[in-house]
Amino acid sequence: MFQISAPIRSHRALRPDIFFLELEAPSIAEKAQPGQFVHIKVSEGFDPLLRRPFSLHEIKGQEGTLGVLYQVVGKGTKLLSQRQAGEEIDLLGPLGKGFSLNFSGDHGVLLGGGIGVAPLFPLAESLISAGKKVTVLLGARSEGLILSREKFSGLGCRVLVTTDDGSLGEKGNVIELLKKYLTDHPVDFLYACGPEIVLAHVDRLGVERGIPGEVSLEAMMGCGVGACLSCSCARKDENETGKKYAKVCSDGPVFSFGEVQIHGC
């Protein structure tokens, strides 16, 4: 883990409340793995006091840059959205446990709900580089909230889209799309990130159908390094050390299907 002052290379709005932030952070970019995150000090003062966690949407180790895709949802992200190229941002990283990149078979499915697509792009890059076949299922309320579709397609992924209002792709939710896909296609490993209710359904489907996979959880974090316990969630079963709780920031944010109780995290 490094604490650095990272220059902002670029910062732009993709939608009125969706932003892409590119940072020059060679020490972190060299070590970061898909599914890990950075903890950013969003203001130059003490309000808000706590850092905010952000998934890594791009990891360019050779170029020494990181990309963060985020949505403005509160005071902290609003302040971050006002930062300009050329300024420097204090960040910690890389943090947390990332996705598993090796699995039996050759077909991985990535499911992203809304802004939950953020950590899945570097995962798709790594799987494609390893020779895996990758299918991406994207879901959101409407067309304007479907993110990074072209980026995934550009990697060679098959991309299927569903929207609640039918403005893009099939009409319906991403869990319905997943169920249909699992009926028609063999899947060797399943990854998901998105709203908690979506992850709960994916986790249950994976366990019921015997498909191995992982979910990336989101949680409010104080320290980001496992010290404050503010992001603890219950394990479904005690692990070998007898621990009944897991810390999303350090034991996760990526967990295997059936490992933790997603509701209540």
User: What residue segments make up the domains of the chain, in order of their start?
Assistant: 2-95, 107-256
Range 14-29 average pLDDT? 97
pLDDT at 242: 64
- pTM for this prediction: 0.94
pLDDT at 236 > cutoff 90:
no
pLDDT at 57 > cutoff 50:
yes
Query: What Å distances lie between residue 33 and 5, 99, 178, 245, CA to CA?
Result: 20, 8, 26, 24
Binding residues: 52-55, 69-71, 76-77, 223, 228, 231, 249
List, in sequence order, every residue forming a beta bridge with 23; answer none if it has no partner.
Answer: 8, 66
Q: What is the homologous superfamily of the domain 2-95 according to CATH?
A: Translation factors (2.40.30.10)
Using one digit for the tens of pLDDT, what is the confidence trace for 176-229?
A: 999 999 999 999 999 999 999 999 999 999 999 999 999 999 988 989 999 998
| Torsion 54-56-62-65 (CA) sign | negative
pLDDT at 137: 98
CB atoms inside a 10 Å sphere around CB 224: 26
CA–CA distance, 65 with 36 (Å, rounded to integer): 15
CB atoms inside a 10 Å sphere around CB 149: 19
Fold of 107-256: Rossmann fold (3.40.50)
CA–CA distance, 127 with 168 (Å, rounded to integer): 26
Range 6-17 average pLDDT? 96
Query: What Å distances lie between residue 144 and 122, 163, 203, CA to CA?
Result: 22, 10, 27
Binding residues for [2Fe-2S] cluster: 223, 228, 231, 249
pLDDT at 166: 95
- SS3 helix, strand, coil % of the chain, rounded to 5? 25, 35, 40
Binding residues for FAD: 52-55, 69-71, 76-77
